[in-house]
């Protein structure tokens, strides 16, 4: 499929061409884009995460990393024939503390203890460029999530699933972790790591079709 025939998914997302290069190894982001039948080239960026600078606000932090991931693979994406290149980064914030992916089982248990029984905010930064035109832009989305406090038995069972280990905040709302989320304010897909409505706004903006 060429940029002249991007397909319905890319068109509805706001892109005039495809394929889309995804600068991420996240299976959740890939799954969401594949659900939309968008042709993908997956190019993990290798940009280090857990790279917050001092008291850098989460909104600035995720935007900066998303831009860095996009920039790291833009050249490779263009050589591979990608029409556009997308970078993304997601973190969880509780009272100013930024929670990344857990380092190990013990750290996952700690993170689940931090978010348990309270609200937290999920921040995702997006960055998109169209290499052949040099146009680019970025977007940040925030959602609030209430996560139940886990008793020791449930915590142990959940950790044993392995699901918490590669996710910011140590849970996956689309999997077993969703059992413990009775309330959410904002974009559900943002909590998965790819806010689709925000991505559409970004695509339209970079394509020059979004009007204030």
Q: Are 9 and 37 in contact (CB under 8 A)?
A: yes
Q: What predicted TM-score, i.e. pTM, was given to this entire model?
A: 0.91
Query: Is 187 among the catalytic positions?
Result: no
* 3-class secondary structure, 97: strand
CB atoms within 10 A of CB 127: 28
pLDDT for res 1 = 41
Structure tokens at 156: 């142990």
- pLDDT by residue, tens only, the chain of 212 residues: 444 678 899 999 999 999 999 999 899 999 999 999 999 999 999 888 777 888 899 999 999 999 999 999 999 999 999 999 999 999 999 988 899 889 999 999 999 999 999 999 999 999 999 999 999 999 999 999 999 999 999 999 999 999 999 888 999 999 999 999 999 999 999 999 999 999 999 999 999 875 44
Separation of alpha carbons 6 and 38, rounded Å: 8
Which CATH class for the 8-206 domain?
alpha beta
Q: Annotated catalytic residue: which of 5, 51, 55, 89?
A: 89
H/E run at residue 79: helix 58-79
- Could you tell me if residue 155 is left (phi over 0), alpha (psi between -120 and 50 degrees) or otherwise beta? alpha
Q: Are 158 and 150 in contact (CB under 8 A)?
A: yes
Domain boundaries, the chain: 8-206
Residue 130, beta-bridge partner list: 135
């Amino acid at each position: 499929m060429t940029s002249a025939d991007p397909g319905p998914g890319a068109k509805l997302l706001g892109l005039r061409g495809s394929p889309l290069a995804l600068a991420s190894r996240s299976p959740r982001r890939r799954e969401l884009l594949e659900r939309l039948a968008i042709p993908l080239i997956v190019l993990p960026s290798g940009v280090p995460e857990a790279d917050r600078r001092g008291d850098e606000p989460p909104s600035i932090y995720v935007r900066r990393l998303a831009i860095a991931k996009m920039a790291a693979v833009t050249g490779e994406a263009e050589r591979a024939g990608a029409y556009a290149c997308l970078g993304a980064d997601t973190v969880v914030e509780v009272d100013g503390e930024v929670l990344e992916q857990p380092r190990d089982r013990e750290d996952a248990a700690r993170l689940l203890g931090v978010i348990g029984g309270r609200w937290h905010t999920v921040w995702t930064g997006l960055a998109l460029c169209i290499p052949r035109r040099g146009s680019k832009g970025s977007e940040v989305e925030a959602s609030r999530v209430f996560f139940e406090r886990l008793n020791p038995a449930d915590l142990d069972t959940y950790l044993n699933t392995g699901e918490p280990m590669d996710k910011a905040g140590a849970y996956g709302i689309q999997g077993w972790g969703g059992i413990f989320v009775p309330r959410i304010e904002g974009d559900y897909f943002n909590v998965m790591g790819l806010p689709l409505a925000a991505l559409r706004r970004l695509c339209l903006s970079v394509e020059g079709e979004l009007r204030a």
